[in-house]
Amino acid sequence: MTPTHDDLMTAGRFTASTLLTAKALRIYAERGLLTPRRVDPDNGYRYYGVEQVQTGWLIGLLRSADLSLDQIAEIVAAADADPERAVDLLDRAVAAGDRRHEARHAVLERARLHLRQETVMTTVQSRFEPDRAVVSVMRRVAPHDLDRVIQEEASALRKVAAEGGVAIAGDPFGIFHAPVTDDSDGPLEIVLPIDGLVDSAGDVRSYRLGGGSVATRLAEGAESDFPGILALYDEVHAWITDAGRTPTGPPREVWHTSPQSPEGLRLTITWPYAEATA
């Protein structure tokens, strides 16, 4: 049944009732979060249902807590059909927000060390890696999409290895040819060690990756979350340069588990370096 004017509120009245701005309402309408009940075909005026005020307040509260529009959309979609699922989604968002807060705190603590020019004890270690055959693919990716892209591309590389008749010789890893941050999307080279070269096809490449000395730092649990992991990269880089060594290539991450595994993400940062010359 088409709502009557008595059931509807103008956009201006709706913004006053929800404290949402006209700009926010346009964005939420475009994303399907809060769609007007009626749009006048002649003048484009938007009208909202009285029952949508509660949804508007819910969206406003979630947005003020810095939840993403994707997170909010999922919670709002579940709110009517399955309130318990909506609460579960909210609890997950709160837990993720707490992890991000811890991660930011770790980054800022590392920045404080730079400001004070202090050094601290480190768990960075060193090892020698031999040359090895790999198959890889290059991708540009944003931080929020990193886990999905890594999982999909690593799976695709395993299929390439199987079709090429070679065995997998280690955990997949990424070579960060440029940072993957909110301001940069890489590129990131996703790599799978194998026991022999395979034919390259399309954007998949197979080659021998040179070996040498690498500094390593294990990361697991909350410390592997972005952006906190950047503090660990800084720790590894400081271990290299404070002793007069020289980084000789882009840093890497070896992924021992996936974020979806029961134990969570576990990875090792590795950074190639050369010893100081006399």
pTM: 0.69
Do 150 and 64 share a structural domain? Answer: no
What kind and span of H or E run contains 176?
Answer: strand 173-176
pLDDT over 50 (residue 1): no
Q: State the pLDDT at residue 200.
A: 84
What is the sign of the dihedral through the CA atoms of 151, 183, 23 and 57?
A: positive
Asked if omega into 187 is within 30° of 0 (cis), the reply is yes
Does residue 92 fall inside a structural domain? no
Does residue 24 fall inside a structural domain? yes
Burial class (CB in 10 A: 0-12, 13-18, 19+), 14: buried
Cα–Cα distance measured from residue 194 to residue 142, given in angstroms and rounded to the nearest whole number: 27
Q: Would you say 161 and 167 are in contact if contact means Cβ atoms under 8 Å apart?
A: yes
Mean pLDDT of the region 175-195:
91
Domain that holds residue 53: 5-81
pLDDT digits (tens, 9 = 90+) for 34-80: 999 999 999 989 999 999 999 999 999 999 888 889 899 999 999 98
Q: Would you say 255 and 191 are in contact if contact means Cβ atoms under 8 Å apart?
A: no
Do 133 and 257 share a structural domain? Answer: yes
pLDDT over 80 (residue 120): no
Cα–Cα distance measured from residue 34 to residue 56, given in angstroms and rounded to the nearest whole number: 7
pLDDT digits (tens, 9 = 90+) for 70-84: 899 999 999 988 999
User: Which of 11-15, 214-218, 227-231, 236-240 is predicted least confidently?
Assistant: 227-231
Do 177 and 268 share a structural domain? Answer: yes
Does residue 109 fall inside a structural domain? no
Work out how many domains the chain is built from and give that number: 2
68: left (phi over 0), alpha (psi -120 to 50) or beta: beta
Do 48 and 178 share a structural domain? Answer: no
Do 143 and 53 share a structural domain? Answer: no
Of 20, 55, 81, the position where a domain reaches its end is: 81
Does residue 105 fall inside a structural domain? no
Do 200 and 146 share a structural domain? Answer: yes
Q: Would you say 236 and 124 are in contact if contact means Cβ atoms under 8 Å apart?
A: yes
Does residue 98 fall inside a structural domain? no
Do 265 and 144 share a structural domain? Answer: yes
Of 23, 56, 81, the position where a domain reaches its end is: 81
pLDDT over 60 (residue 27): yes
Q: State the pLDDT at residue 111.
A: 84
Does residue 117 fall inside a structural domain? no
Do 264 and 156 share a structural domain? Answer: yes
Does residue 120 fall inside a structural domain? no
pLDDT over 80 (residue 132): yes
Q: State the CATH number of the domain containing residue 28.
A: 1.10.1660.10
pLDDT over 90 (residue 126): yes
Do 133 and 41 share a structural domain? Answer: no
User: Which of 125-134, 188-197, 220-229 is predicted least confidently?
Assistant: 220-229
Q: State the pLDDT at residue 99.
A: 77
Of 58, 81, 104, the position where a domain reaches its end is: 81
Mean pLDDT of the region 147-155:
93
Q: State the pLDDT at residue 112.
A: 84
Q: State the CATH number of the domain containing residue 256.
A: 3.20.80.10
